[in-house]
Structure 1
Amino acid sequence: MSESGLTPEQVERVVALAADLAREGDTAQLVEFLDHGLPVNTADPAGNTLLMLAAYHGHADTVRALLDRGADPDLRNDRDQAPIAGALFKGADEVVAALREAGADLDSGTPSARAAAVLFGREYLLAG
């Protein structure tokens, strides 16, 4: 058993459930997982944090809740993608704004948020 008292299989299942909640933008249930001890920067097997999944799927309220609980806006997945670049790619303007407000690094990841903004004609989101 792990330090949490859960078997590796149980931990894997909890992470999968939390990842699904982040993808779906189910903020209330996801916050319950966090309030019961799930680390806010938990990542799936591909390195996608809960914040990355929420950002990529355009769930601004979930993104803000994760940031409020200390999620790192710059953790990149195994493909070196940052949450803000994913949000730019998906056209999630409100998510981009929340991540910028949290201090997301516009130059980290591949492509960087700046490069993604240029690529998708969304430079205005990063101005100012």
Structure 2
Amino acid sequence: MRAAEDGHVASMRVLLDRGADPEAKDKNRNTALIMASHNGHVEAMALLLDRGADLEAKNKDGSTALIWAARYGSVEAVALLLDRGADLEAKDNAGKAAMDWVKAEHLKALVLQILENAGRARERERARRAEALAAKQAELEEAQARCAEALAAKQAEMEGALAAKQAELDAQADAAQAYRTATVAAMAALEARVKQLEDLAQLL
């Protein structure tokens, strides 16, 4: 907690690596993220968020890290929290949201930062949608390729079966033709034999 409050990022990293809970709270229910945001320690805040710190955790006054960052004038801290998706409408126990605490001298810079963050958010969303579309297109193309491959394999199988059946029919036709030829030859031989017998009978 103290390391976050003082912005000692190296010490925080060691503690987190050793299993320190980024959600631990002090007697006022302040988390390390809230304490870091109070003093505008952006690098410490980023580390905590990367390690799973709750962006919307509240202390006993109902203040989130964003509310404290706005209340104590850290525009960079506000920008980071908004960039990570902090709720700008969250209210403390007094019913005040982050924008209600912003001092006049910080308002312009904060509004510009919010607009910039909104633009970045839109860009990220466009990039996400483009990536999702590309992934879907790749999935569709892969499915089409699998379908074409399966169709080609089935066609080859059918053509192979058809060729085998045709060969079988051709063999049967050849056998039938051979049988007919043999039958005609046998009949001719039989007729010749009968003729010989008839001729012999006339001589007798």
* Fold similarity call, TM over 0.5: yes
Structure 2 stretches lacking a partner, 5+ long: 119-204
Which segments of structure 1 move beyond 3 Å, counting only runs of 4 or more? 125-128
Structure 1 stretches lacking a partner, 5+ long: 1-18
Greater C-alpha Rg: 2
Superposed displacement of residue 33, structure 1: 1.1
Residue in structure 2 matching 1:55, options 9, 34, 37: 37
Superposed displacement of residue 80, structure 1: 0.4
Q: What's the CA shift string for 1:15-50, capped at 9, x where partnerless?
A: xxxx11111000110121111111111111110000
Distance 1:114 1:89 in 2: 8
- Which structure shows the higher helix fraction? 2
- Specify which structure has the bigger relative contact order, considering alpha-carbon pairs within 8 angstroms and separated by 6 or more residues: 1
Superposed displacement of residue 102, structure 1: 1.0
1:96 match: 78
Whether 1:112 aligns to 2:112 is: no
2:159 match: none
Would you say how many aligned residue pairs link Structure 1 and Structure 2? 108
Q: Give the fraction of aligned pairs with identical amino acids, expressed as a percent.
A: 30
Q: Normalising to structure 2: TM-score of the pair?
A: 0.50
Instruction: Let me know the Cα RMSD of the aligned residues.
Output: 1.4
* Contact 2:70-2:99 within 8 A present in 1 as well: no
* Contact 2:57-2:64 within 8 A present in 1 as well: yes
Q: Normalising to structure 1: TM-score of the pair?
A: 0.78
